[in-house]
Amino acid sequence: MSSNKKYWKSVEELDENSSIVETLRNNEFVEAIPTNEFLADAATLATSSTTRRDFLKYVGFSTAAATLAACEGPVNKSIPYVVQPEEIIPGVADYYATTVADGFDFANILVKTREGRPIKIDNNKIEGANFHANARVHASVLSLYDSMRLKNPKIDHKNATWDQANSRIKASVADAKAKGGKIVILTNTSASPSTDRLISQFVSANANAKHVTYDAISSSEALDAFEAIYGERALADYDFSKASVIVSVGADFLGDWQGGGFDSGYAQGRIPQNGKMSRHFQFEANMTLSGAAADKRVPMTISNQKQALVKIYNTITGSSVTTSKTDNDDAVVKAAQQLKAAGSKGVLVCGIDDKNAQLLVLAINRALGSEAFNPSNSRQIRKGNNADVKQLIADMKSGAVHTLIMNGVNPIYTLPNGAAFEEALKKVKLSVAFSMKEDETVSKTNIAVATPHYLESWNDVIIVKGSYALTQPTIRPLFNTIQFQDALLSWTGNTQKYYDYLRASWSGSKSWNQLVHDGVAVTEGVTSGAGAGADFNGAAATLAKATPTKLELVLYTKTGLGDGQQANNPWLQEFPDPITRASWDNYVTVSQSDAKAFELENWNVANGGLNGSYVTLTVNGKKLEKVPVIIQPGQAKGTVGLALGYGRQAAMKEEMMVGVNAYSLYNNFNNVQSVSITKEDGEHEFACVQLQKTLMGRGDIIKETSLEIFNTKDAAEWNLVPMVSLDHKEVAATTVDLWESFDRSVGHHFNLSIDLNACTGCGACVIACHAENNVPVVGKSEVRRSRDMHWLRIDRYYSSETTFDGDNKTKEGSEGLLDTVSTLRGMEEASDNPQVAFQPVMCQHCNHAPCETVCPVAATSHSRQGQNHMAYNRCVGTRYCANNCPYKVRRFNWFLYNKNEEFDYHMNDDLGRMVLNPDVNVRSRGVMEKCSMCIQMTQATILNAKKEGRPVVDGEFQTACSNACTSGAMKFGDVNDKESEIVTLSEDKRMYHLLEHIGTKPNVFYHVKVRN
């Protein structure tokens, strides 16, 4: 029945004779839309080739200026990865192969675009694509839509045109040339042969010019060592899949050490195959991802690590360099002996910022003949030179530098003497900065040039020798930006565009179009030449003279924020650190024994939050005040840790101005400093998502065993099936049901496999889930109230004894209720050097789901395909389902996180909302949400196969998390396809379900963790 009710928006509409109402009927917009403001000038608008049809096609969503500026879609020379469509089809995603190269993170990726907008990063899996996306790379798509980006060139902090800026730069270069003043180009490591060639051409044309490469996180000592032996400023590459024994001395190779990207090869060797797996020794100060994964982890000060490295060198090479005794000599000798026995199947890596230490690494791996050690296909992603940077600062202070041109660097923030650099900058006649942000350095320069995001740019990249990759734009530049390479072309008198220059430079086996399509080409590897050589014994003797300091500060980079380039990215700020599980902060990590000595504390408060003490750190007379403290199990006694990349203030939203700037303590580019600590008054409030640290002997959550038991005992002994009572008889819990089952063999039925041996806790899956499913950011205050919205979490557990097996024995040894309670309370405290396990947990999509039975409005229900569905429009927010979920994976929208000034993150502005996936709706206040097993992705795969008239191929089904997982820990598939990999995994003897005794029959299963 139709309604004849009259609806009105204002009282004025009730007056039919109102002139205002009549005006609105004829003109929806009372004021003219200022189109010219965001489509540049009228001349530009007049020459636009965008038709009305194309405009509507590209702008099928509600955004503002940025969308209109980019309405012509991706550059027409870009070729989508899968096929080249004749035009963008609304509702259908296109993929572009490109490469990230921001000076710190490098990866070969695919970019998913919808209606002209990049919305998600995937891994490029084509041959030659060796580097995959980490959490920061996955989050970089959101940085494209950063509302704090520099939008125009600026001269003396006022908007200008590029022509005006370019004229002034050219005049300054000419003036410097005439007067003999120095011209310095200061850049990060571009790893781009074309960019390096353009810089060389500029330097050749200007005899007084020099190129200085500066990496905020220095690898200069390792580069110096490699250059001395191999004659090239590069780093060795490592393939850990070829190693049976891995020894790491202070190198977090599963984190950011030397550019990262080692987790895939490492995980291959960690999954038991034919009764074998690699053995991993880790000697380190901070608890790291690599230490968490190790079979044998030994906490050590850096001074002791140097002694350990020399002892290993002596064992491997037969040298007899005198060393000092340490508390862990037995463990060091054992590791050295096993490394020597492994021979070519052994490998050693080291993270000590010392040229002598890095020389010993090269000597040891050469003596072993290590197959995992690859100096020929060397890494080109670190080129910084500490000596050159120090000389530049000295030249600036003396007034010798006439023109300074910077690209991709922020030295006022990242240098320990940033204030001194700022003062020296005043003596430079013209300072120019090419940057995406008006950051700490850009705000102090004469000319600021807005540069495009890598998703708006052309470039080429050589990450490792033997692989050539392209960066291609996936959207037209959102703002009035200029690429640094186009500027270099202009300064060298070349009228070409950078795209044409790149294309003309390519001479490989693939055609240019094929190269753009694939994103990567395999080229012939070039063997590194010979350097001047080195005195290895002399290096060892020098290293052995290292003396311990009272307290060592070990600076490191967090998995989430890295070097701090993306500090304004809310996905990364809210990303929980894999080890501490805290977000929105950096902090001093201290051992339990040192915390007692300094009277430092952590404690929980009534709302479930974690609080802690403050300290002041003093390094070489420089103080860093009010730094919060987290007591970190596994931190080496006599050391403290602090993450770099925080404390940013310029070009940042207020909510993202968190933490302290640890770069101020990064003296001489060394990550180890002698430090003193003073406790301060006050208490710091942390946003920590996991306050329960230990597993407390609950072996049915994370099951683990040793390789020896795995090989010699029946699975029933180490992968116990939980038992329950039925008719007064003990039977397997898996045989008992409270529900009637239905036939699931028809059609598709999805399972997700998670291998605890392969999971490194890196968190790439967490950010990928955010991007795919429009998961909101709620901020520090809400996270602190346990209201984080992550659909996928990675639980991290410590052992309360030295091992998890020790936990079980402690728990089983308790007798009586009081003794058991006392024992369990004691087991809440993690060991001084605990074993660590990571466990990704999302909605388990139970076939017998407890949430479904308690929902009064049937908002949550089960599908034949195995997915637990949520009908958001039906949900009334009773939260019964969350109370009844044993896995605690359901999230309640306490507030509206979209278009809400109380949550001023990317969903609160038009530019930030461009990242939203139109296939997944944005949830509103008062509804429950959770992992959907990416039903939009599985349905799209089914429909695509149906359209092409073929069955779905094994491996084609993916979720955001399984697609992002580079270690192979997550595998997704259809268990009704009996030939699929997921079926093989489900029948593996290591397979078990989480909380199997409850009888929920999940569609997510895990694999028992095996330690060697």
**Does residue 92 or residue 527 have the better pLDDT?**
92
896-944, pLDDT tens digit by residue? 999 999 999 999 999 999 999 999 999 999 999 999 999 999 999 999 9
Q: What is the mean pLDDT of the chain?
A: 89
pLDDT of residue 6: 53
pLDDT of residue 139: 97
How is the chain split among helix, strand and coil, in percent rounded to 5?
35, 20, 45
For residue 507, give both structure tokens. 């001479």
Whole-prediction pTM: 0.90
pLDDT of residue 195: 96
Beta-ladder partners of 155:
158, 447
pLDDT band at 49 (very low <50, low <70, confident <90, very high): low
187-211, pLDDT tens digit by residue? 999 999 999 999 999 999 999 999 9
* CB-count burial class (<10 Å; 0-12, 13-18, 19+) for 148: middle
One-letter amino acid of 588: V
**Does residue 38 or residue 316 have the better pLDDT?**
316
pLDDT of residue 931: 95
For the packed helices 498-505 and 193-205, what is the interaxial angle rounded to 10 degrees?
110
Which stretches of 291-442 are assigned E, i.e. beta strand? 296-299, 346-350, 373-379, 401-407, 430-435
779-792, pLDDT tens digit by residue? 999 999 999 999 99
pLDDT of residue 36: 46
pLDDT of residue 27: 53
Q: Residue range 998-1003: average pLDDT?
A: 92
For residue 852, give both structure tokens. 């479904």
CB of 480 within 8 A of CB of 162? yes
pLDDT band at 528 (very low <50, low <70, confident <90, very high): low
Position 40 pLDDT exceeds 70 = no
377-411, pLDDT tens digit by residue? 999 999 999 999 999 999 999 999 999 999 999 99
pLDDT of residue 771: 95
How big is the chain, counted in residues?
A: 1012
Position 819 pLDDT exceeds 60 = yes
For residue 1006, give both structure tokens. 């895990």
Asked which of 84-93, 433-442, 581-590, 966-975 is least confident by mean pLDDT, the reply is 84-93
pLDDT of residue 807: 78
683-703, pLDDT tens digit by residue? 999 999 988 778 877 778 999
pLDDT band at 34 (very low <50, low <70, confident <90, very high): very low
Instruction: Look up tokens 């087991």; give the residue.
Output: 827
Pairing of the two strands 467-471 and 610-619: unpaired
- Cα dihedral 649, 653, 656, 661, rounded to 10, equals -10
CB of 478 within 8 A of CB of 144? yes
For residue 81, give both structure tokens. 């990865």
CB of 794 within 8 A of CB of 578? yes
Q: What are phi and psi of 673, to 5 degrees?
A: -135, 150
Q: Residue range 36-55: average pLDDT?
A: 47
User: d(Cα 278, Cα 347) in Å, to the nearest integer?
Assistant: 11
Q: What are phi and psi of 110, to 5 degrees?
A: -115, 140
User: d(Cα 748, Cα 935) in Å, to the nearest integer?
Assistant: 12
Position 60 pLDDT exceeds 50 = no
pLDDT band at 443 (very low <50, low <70, confident <90, very high): very high
Instruction: Look up tokens 């699931």; give the residue.
Output: 744
The conformation of residue 341, written as its DSSP 8-state character, comes to H
Region label for 405, one of left (φ > 0), alpha (ψ between -120 and 50) or beta (otherwise)? beta
Q: Residue range 218-239: average pLDDT?
A: 95
803-814, pLDDT tens digit by residue? 888 878 887 777
**Does residue 272 or residue 128 have the better pLDDT?**
272
Position 13 pLDDT exceeds 70 = no
230-255, pLDDT tens digit by residue? 999 999 999 999 999 999 999 999 99
pLDDT of residue 10: 59
Task: State percent of the chain over pLDDT 70.
Answer: 91
CB of 124 within 8 A of CB of 109? yes
| Number of alpha carbons in the 13 Å side-chain half-sphere of residue 448 | 24
What is the secondary structure of 272-323 as a DSSP string? -BTTB--EEEEEESS--HHHHH-SEEEE--HHHHHHHHHHHHHHHH------
Q: What are phi and psi of 482, to 5 degrees?
A: -130, 130
pLDDT of residue 149: 95
User: d(Cα 855, Cα 859) in Å, to the nearest integer?
Assistant: 7
714-766, pLDDT tens digit by residue? 998 999 888 888 888 899 888 888 777 788 888 999 999 999 999 999 999 99
DSSP H or E run through 610? strand 610-619
pLDDT of residue 649: 93
DSSP H or E run through 249? strand 245-249
pLDDT of residue 481: 96
Q: Residue range 850-879: average pLDDT?
A: 92
